[in-house]
Chain A
Amino acid sequence: MAAIADAAIVVPAKASKGYWASVGSRLIKDKVAMVALTIILLIVLAAILAPYIAPADPFRGSMIRRLRPIGTPGYPLGADELGRDMLTRLIYGGRLSIFMGVVPVLAAFVVGSGIGIFAGYVGGWVNTLLMRIIDVFFAFPSVLLAIALSGALGAGILNSIVSLTIVFIPQIARVAESVTTQIRTRDYVEAARVSGAGAFTIVRVHVLGNVLGPIFVYSTGLISVSMILASGLSFLGLGVKPPEPEWGLMLNTLRTAIYTQPLVAALPGLMIFMTSISFNLFSDGLRSAMEVKQ
C-alpha cells in the first residue's frame, strides 16, 4: 500500500498528470480508504518497531499472573494464559500475521500475473490448456484447498505460505488472463504490432501498463482473505507453532479462557478483523479511484 502512495509522487509531472497520479489524488479524497490506510500503516509500523515500543518481552510469562483482565497495572491489555503481556504479544503478533497474509498474495501476484498474461497474450490452445488446469483449482473452495495443502505438507510458516500462494495463483491468473485477452485485441496493440515491434516489447510497453493495475487492485482485495486464512491455519495449529506470537495462534491458545477472561481472549481476533477490514476498505477505495472514466 505504501507503494501506491509512492508511485503517485514518483510519476514525473510533465505537461499533465499521469494515470497513477490522478488515481492517487482521487484516493486521497476518499476518507474511508484513507482511514483504512492509516490503520494499516499504524499496525505495520507498530509491528516493525515492536522491539522499541512493546512494553515487555513477548516470551517471558509469569505463572502467578496468568489471565489478568484488561487494565491490570503493568498489563494494559491483560495477560495471556501463560502470564505474558497481551499488548506486547499483540504488537509482535502483527509481524507474523501480516507477513503470512501479505507474502502469499505478493508471491501469487508475481506468478499468477505471469501465467495469466502469458496465457492471455499467446492465446490459442496454450491459453485453453492453462485455463483448464486453473479450472481444476477452482473446483476447490479456497479454505478447503488451503487446509488440504497445509494439512498434507504439515504445520509450519513456510508450508502455510506455500499453501496459500497455491490457493491464490489460479485466482490471480484467471483475472490476469481475462484482462490481457481484452487488451490484446485493442487497436493500439495492433498498431504496435504493425509497427514491427516484437511480442516482448509489446507486452512490456503496451500490455503490462494496462493490465497490472486491474490485477493489482484485485490482489489487494485478496490480502484480507489471505490474512483471515493465514491466521485461520495457525488457529487450527497448521501455521505458526507456539510460543511464537501470532494472532491466529493466540486466539487458539486463549480459547479456554473465554470463561474467565472473555475480553482478553477475543483481542487477537479483533486485531485480525481490524487489519482485514482495513485492507478490504482500502482495496475498495483503490478500485473506485481507478475505475473513474477518463
Chain B
Amino acid sequence: MLLYILKRIVYVTPVALGVSVICFLLVHLAPGDPLTSVMPIDATAEQQAEMRAAYGFDRPLIVQYFLWLWKVLHADLGNSIATGRPVLTEVSRAVVNSLILAAVATLIGFTFGTLFGFVAGYFRNSPLDKIASAISVFGVSVPHYWLGMVLVIIFSVQLNWLPSTGAGPGGSSNWRPDADHLRYIILPAITMSVIPTGIIARTLRALVADILSQEFVQALRAKGLGEWGVFKHVVTNAAPTALAVMGLQLGYLLGGSILIETVFAWPGTGFLLNAAIFQRDLPLLQGTILVLAMFFVGLNLIVDVLQTALDPRIQRG
C-alpha cells in the first residue's frame, strides 16, 4: 500500500508541475505586459524598463518560470497589487470559507444524491426512478447562479426567512459554526449542492442497477439471502465509487464556486478571483488559481488512494 501511495505521488508530480506551468503562463496570456495595468500611464520608457527589471520581466520566460517556481516552493506567491498584502495570506483566509461552503454542499449533495440514486437504481423504471432521474437531470442542467437568484427571491425577498448575502451578520468574513452564521450558509450551500446531487444520483443509479443485475447478487438471492442482506452487499460494492465521486465533487465545487460566491457575496476564493480579475490583480489571480488547482490535484490523489484501499478489485501493483 505504501508503495502504491509512493507510485501515485511520483505520477502526480509531473501533473503538478504542468499545473504550475499553466498558472505561470496565465499571467503572460494577458494582453500586453503583466505590468501595464499597474504602471502609471505617464511612466517614461526608462521607468518602465526599470520596473520590468525589478520584477524580472526582462529575463527569458523559462528563467522567469523557474525563479517563480522557486519562490512558490518557498510559500511565496508574491504580493497582491491591489492590497499590497501577501497573496498567500489573502488566499488562505478565503480558502477556509470556500472549503466550509463546499464541504457543507458536498455533504448535502451526497446525502440526497445517494438517496435518489439508490431508490432509482433499486426500483428501475418505476415512477420513483422517473422522479429521481428528473431531479438528477435538473441538477446537472440548471445554471446554479440562476438557481441561487431564484432561491434568494423566494426565501429572502418574498418570505424574508434567510439572509441573501454574506457569510455572517454585520459583514462577518470569518464563518463560525454558530446559529447566526448557520443561517447565512443555508442558501448558498443548497444552491451549490444541486450539482453533486445530480451527478452522485446518476452515478449511483447506474452502479446500483449494475450490481443488482450481476450474477453474484442473483446467486445470493438464490441462496435465500433476504433483501436486507442483498442491500448490504450493494452498499459494500457501491461505497468506493460513491465516495470517490463525492471526493471529486468537493474539488469541483471548490474550484467552481466563483459564480455562486458572487451571487451570495460569500467571502471565499471565488469572490477573491472575481476581485482579482476586475482589478487586473494578476499575482492574486495566479496565486488563487494555483492554490485551488493544487488542492484539486491533492484531493484527486487522496481519493485515488482511498478508493484503492477500499476496493479490493483495484490492483495495487
Q: Which residues of A contact B (CB under 8 A)?
A: 132-133, 135-137, 139-144, 147-149, 151-154, 224, 228, 231-232, 235-238, 251, 255, 258-259, 262, 265-266, 268-270, 272-273, 276-277, 280-281, 284
Contact = CB atoms under 8 A, between A and B. Distances in A.
Given A136-B21, A139-B296, A281-B137, 5 more contacts: A132-B15, A143-B259, A251-B149, A266-B149, A277-B138
Given A136-B18, A139-B296, A154-B30, A147 B258 contact: yes
B31 to A, nearest CB: 6
A151 B273 contact: yes
Contacts of B66: none
Contacts of A137: 22
A238 B149 contact: no
Given A132-B14, A152-B285, A154-B30, A228 B143 contact: yes
A136 B19 contact: yes
A262 B278 CA distance: 27
B157 A266 contact: no
B125 interface: no
A4 B297 CA distance: 38
Interface stretch (B167-175, B183-191, B249-257): B249-257
A272 B278 CA distance: 25
A131 B53 CA distance: 37
B15 A135 contact: yes
Given A154-B30, A258-B149, A266-B150, A139 B143 contact: no
Contacts of B16: 139
B158 A262 contact: yes
Contacts of A136: 15, 18-19, 21-22
7 contacts: A136-B19, A139-B18, A152-B285, A154-B31, A262-B153, A265-B153, A280-B137
Contacts of B22: 136-137, 140
A236 B143 contact: no
A236 B153 contact: no
Contacts of B277: 147, 151, 236, 238
B16 to A, nearest CB: 8
Nearest to A281: B137
A142 B141 contact: no
A144 B255 contact: yes
Interface in B51-100: none
- Tell me if B's interface is mostly helix, strand, loop or mixed: helix
A153 B28 CA distance: 9
B289 interface: yes
Nearest to A284: B137
Interface residues of B, number: 51
Contacts of B14: 132
B19 A144 contact: no
A116 to B, nearest CB: 18
The residue in B29, B137, B138 that gathers the most chain A C-beta atoms within 10 A of its C-beta is: B29
Contacts of B303: none
A139 B293 CA distance: 6
A143 B19 contact: no
B123 interface: no
Given A143-B259, A255-B149, A262 B293 contact: no
A231 B158 CA distance: 26
B308 interface: no
A142 B249 CA distance: 12
Contacts of A265: 149, 153
B132 interface: no
Contacts of A153: 29-31
Contacts of A151: 273, 276-277, 285
B152 interface: yes
Nearest to B25: A152
Given A152-B30, A258-B157, A276 B262 contact: no
A144 B262 CA distance: 14
B149 A141 contact: no
A272 B259 CA distance: 15
Contacts of B5: none
Nearest to A140: B293
A269 B143 CA distance: 7
Given A251-B145, A272-B146, A280-B141, A152 B26 contact: yes
